[in-house]
Structure 1
């Protein structure tokens, strides 16, 4: 509160002062001087009581008498400054007089001193000034703590983002960007554990590539592979297939894992047809450079065991089972531009595709002959572009 008619500047709102003096008259005097000017005053009659009070109270300035029984002002000040919780609390020593008392007050850590009998205006000015310094320091400490928390939070977020990017990079090795992003968003990587699934596998390679690589310069070989991989990779992602691996001119993709794909045979065949069209454009360019290369595809459906294989720092996602061998053997048996499919794949296609039977084929590593069909193309208005992704 303020005294009516008192136009003097008021201290910062709620400045709290602890007065420590063994004489009751001195304590009452401090209350009478400070409280009318808006200060909140708490007083104690000994150094011991003051230290106990500081453990409970939050004050801005301590007014500390030098000469007191028990703990005197010097020892009390020294203990205040030695405690990390109060080390920066401003302490004003109230001394009788003399240079020695002032020097000793400064030596024990006092921030200022007042000489008895004190001037009221000087006392108020010093208390107000130190209270502002203390509160400014408290603000700086709070801001520093907040900055430290923000930095820690930022570091945590950056670390999480880096981890997400690393996970996304790993997932994009074999999944389309859409599926990799979905898995990253949900955080579910359980599909990486070994499991069994009915999949449709597509295997592709280039006819005549081995002979081409043996007779061509490495730079030419790499240029052809780069164009080939770029053309096929774009379609793998467009059809949301899972890329098992690139191995030179060989490429293996499967459908219905990790994301379920109820139209896996149809999706695989449509992708193969689009791949053949893309490679037709490339082979025309390759022939102009004297490269005689064709494109063959094998597609099979069956159960496989899937999951993560490799070692720390180098993981791949693999499918292991007869179905992958059948797809590879069908691809090897295919002539240039041929797309050969297994019976289960043929049974999974609707009437929108034109196929023809090839008859039973003996495939290396497969115990029984396989009734093989060739995909010629699509019928009528059936598009080969990828349809809406399955749910």
Structure 2
């Protein structure tokens, strides 16, 4: 919605001493109703000074023949300015040559002297309608630019561009939507901060979030929040994304790859940055702009959001870097990954089946089949689960999830239900 526009401001430039009183009397109703306001100058120089002090002048009504700076010179200078107020030129009835010159130089309309005040009122009204169209256009452009600047903090550039055209997208309030929520966090970063000087910390975080948000925006995700070294991303909000779960999984894998490259680059400089842990869950949430008149925050609330944050934290115990819920797997087409187990997350009573998404490079089909066979034995409570996981760890010692299950079995645990605190 376009806000109400302020009264139109008109600058009258004429050296006749009685003109100010006559115009004020003729337009007293419009002045009283707040439709217009007037400024008065006696020559072009004074007019330019007033225009410099009042950048909101919408219209100039100027005589041509004035001492100092005449109306044609003033008109030329007005056309050189960025604001270019609409101009009505006033001249003697027989001075058509100057009137034509004025129209060629960009005057919107003209009046002849002696001034017919009914004609003046009609001409000003016609010009104000034109000014109104221009002002509304400028107002829309300003709102769109402001909306785009705000939206660009959260959304991919193409989505921000689309949403900026509708300023109602910035209004306070929420709605219930089906979303995929993604949380990231850098392992051990709080402790690392204590050993870094401010310049290094700024360089690390700025570089890290530049890389992470570029990936999020490439997948058309919404950055809901950045807190410390943690990132919260939404898919399926504010616009509909039927493939929001698949986008979230693809984004998680891309974030994982980029963060590992980032870690390796800093490792070469002698700074050990922890792995980025990622949790993803899909379901209903209340999303929107929440806050007050001076500040708002585009964010999301609900169990879906809390669960994704706890899945991120579960990676710490599991040894994994990405953990997604079964609700994500069900919604995502062509999911490639392996089951982690049935997690009882902090604050929950019931278990949630979780999965670790995999790229083709990370796990070939033969190794994935061996893991699925070992997990099936674990799920069935078979004694063969322990040697199956032991064989996996022997073939791939860096398989943290297989090592996690083997350790559980060696410590007397069984089944796939895992308490995560």
Question: TM bucket by the smaller chain?
Answer: 0.5 to 0.7
SS in structure 1 at match of 2:154: coil
1:244-275 deviations in whole A, cap 9, x for unaligned?
01111110111111211111111100011111
Equivalent position of 2:330 in the other structure: 347
SS in structure 1 at match of 2:181: strand
Moved more, 255-264 or 284-293: 284-293
| C-alpha contact 2:311 2:323 (8 A) present in aligned 1 | yes
* Equivalences for residues 21-60 of structure 1 within 5 A: none
Whether 1:298 and 2:279 are equivalent positions in the alignment is: yes
**Structure of higher CA gyration radius:** 1
Distance (whole Å) between structure 2 residues aligned to residue 146 and residue 367 of structure 1: 77
Distance (whole Å) between structure 1 residues aligned to residue 93 and residue 340 of structure 2: 96
TM-score when normalising by structure 1 = 0.58
Equivalent position of 1:367 in the other structure: 349
Aligned residue pair count: 258
Question: C-alpha displacement at 1:349, in angstroms?
Answer: 2.9
Distance (whole Å) between structure 1 residues aligned to residue 141 and residue 341 of structure 2: 54
Distance (whole Å) between structure 1 residues aligned to residue 359 and residue 102 of structure 2: 74
1:83-119 deviations in whole A, cap 9, x for unaligned?
879xxxxxxxxxxxxxxxxxxxxxxxxxxxxxxxxxx
Over 3 Å counting, the alpha-carbon distance change for 1:141 and 1:329 in structure 2 is same
Q: 2:309 aligns with which of 328, 350, 361?
A: 328
Q: 1:312 aligns with which of 284, 288, 293?
A: 293
Equivalent position of 2:407 in the other structure: none
Equivalent position of 1:253 in the other structure: 233
| C-alpha contact 2:177 2:287 (8 A) present in aligned 1 | yes
SS in structure 1 at match of 2:349: coil
Question: C-alpha displacement at 1:134, in angstroms?
Answer: 6.9
Question: C-alpha displacement at 1:137, in angstroms?
Answer: 5.8
| C-alpha contact 1:341 1:373 (8 A) present in aligned 2 | yes
Whether 1:285 and 2:265 are equivalent positions in the alignment is: yes
Root-mean-square deviation (CA, aligned residues, Å) is 3.5
Moved more, 300-309 or 343-352: 343-352
Residue ranges of structure 1 left out of the alignment (5+ in a row): 1-81, 86-129, 382-391
SS in structure 1 at match of 2:358: strand
Distance (whole Å) between structure 1 residues aligned to residue 321 and residue 259 of structure 2: 12
| C-alpha contact 1:296 1:339 (8 A) present in aligned 2 | yes
Question: C-alpha displacement at 1:187, in angstroms?
Answer: 5.1
Equivalent position of 1:132 in the other structure: 94
Question: C-alpha displacement at 1:234, in angstroms?
Answer: 0.4
* Equivalences for residues 118-157 of structure 1 within 5 A: 132-133=94-95, 136=98, 144=107, 146=109, 156-157=136-137
Distance (whole Å) between structure 2 residues aligned to residue 198 and residue 156 of structure 1: 36
Over 3 Å counting, the alpha-carbon distance change for 1:352 and 1:299 in structure 2 is closer
Distance (whole Å) between structure 2 residues aligned to residue 251 and residue 83 of structure 1: 65
TM-score when normalising by structure 2 = 0.54
Over 3 Å counting, the alpha-carbon distance change for 1:195 and 1:377 in structure 2 is same
Residue ranges of structure 2 left out of the alignment (5+ in a row): 1-20, 27-91, 111-126, 365-421
Distance (whole Å) between structure 2 residues aligned to residue 302 and residue 278 of structure 1: 27
1:302-333 deviations in whole A, cap 9, x for unaligned?
11111111222322111100111111111112
Question: C-alpha displacement at 1:287, in angstroms?
Answer: 1.4
Q: Which has the higher contact order (CA 8 A, sep 6+)?
A: 1
Whether 1:224 and 2:204 are equivalent positions in the alignment is: yes
| C-alpha contact 1:295 1:337 (8 A) present in aligned 2 | no
Distance (whole Å) between structure 1 residues aligned to residue 296 and residue 179 of structure 2: 21
